[in-house]
Amino acid sequence: MKFYQLNTIYNTNLLNFFFVCITSLIFLKKYSLAEDLISGYHFSEPSTQKIQDDDFLNPGFIWVENGELLWNKKEQSSQLSCKSCHGAASEMKGVALKYPKITKKGDLINLEQQINICRNENMSAETYEPESKNLLALSVLLYYQSRGLKQDIKINEKNKEYFNLGKKLYFKKIGQMGLSCNQCHDDRVGQNLRAEKVSQGHINGFPSYLLRWSKIASVHKRIQFCNEQARAIPFKIFSKEYNALQLYMTWRGRGLKIETPAVRK
């Protein structure tokens, strides 16, 4: 009888111990969520994830294929194509990871601006307008080559000034709502924002196919949309502020794999 009683006490203690362990694990998991890097893929709905998994279903690949046609197309003015200098598009693996980048003049530019500079100076062709289909097709093609590689951008003395500006903008409260980026994408990760889950705001899938506009959108366009939601006046695309913010955000998501062309809501 004594032995039996002892045994029961031992059992309840053990159960308590496990209960405490499990609850503390759940607690830790919930509150350390903002510290781990989670791609926006895991916050989207299963039906959206299904579109991204299948390369045939994914409409972003229309842009990839059209980008390949543009890559090999010769310009009439100079009889040069992108291929004649850089080789095949598959050789550009890992190039997109270096952007946003500092030029010789000291400005910060992103990949789309670099395409326009290359067209203007080397090919003597007309530049594409921001958010135009041709520009995004080339941009998606280049980001697609480094799909699966990890985001890895280095902060050095050259771009530190822009990095600090981007960090300042990330924590700055803007608009009628008085919201800053970190209030949603750091503090309220995983909570509901109307019908959507708040993601961590990583840009590893961009330029990505947005179902709401049914077309590819660049990082700058998406941040503009985010600013409009907070009732703030957005900056212009390719502005110094957005490039700095893009630099900070790529640094923030270092270690995440590139998913371009991703599918988001």
Partner 1 sequence: MFLKMEKLRRLKYKKIVKVGENVKIKTLAEHEMETGVRRDNITGVIYPRLIIQSVIAKYNGKIVFKANWFSGVSANPYLAFYITAKESGLIEIEWKDDHATTSYKRGYLKVINEKGNEVLPVKYDL
Binding residues for partner 1, rule: CB under 8 A, are 56-57, 59, 62, 65-66, 69-70, 133-134, 214-215
Nearer of residues 133 and 265 to partner 1, judged by Cβ: 133
Q: Smallest gap, in angstroms, from Cβ of residue 45 to partner 1? A: 15
User: Quick one: 44 or 180, whose CB is closer to partner 1?
Assistant: 44
Smallest distance, partner 1 to C-beta of residue 61, A = 9
User: Catalytic pick from 85, 118, 181, 226?
Assistant: 226
Least gap, CB of 207 to partner 1 (angstroms): 16
Q: Quick one: 63 or 99, whose CB is closer to partner 1?
A: 63
Cis peptide before 207 (omega within 30 of 0): yes
Closest to partner 1 by CB, 12 or 214? 214
Report yes or no: 94 and 142 within 8 Å, Cβ to Cβ. Answer: no
Q: How far is the CB of 177 from partner 1 (least distance, A)?
A: 23
Total number of residues shown for the chain:
265
Q: Is 226 marked active-site? A: yes
By annotation, the residues acting in catalysis are 226
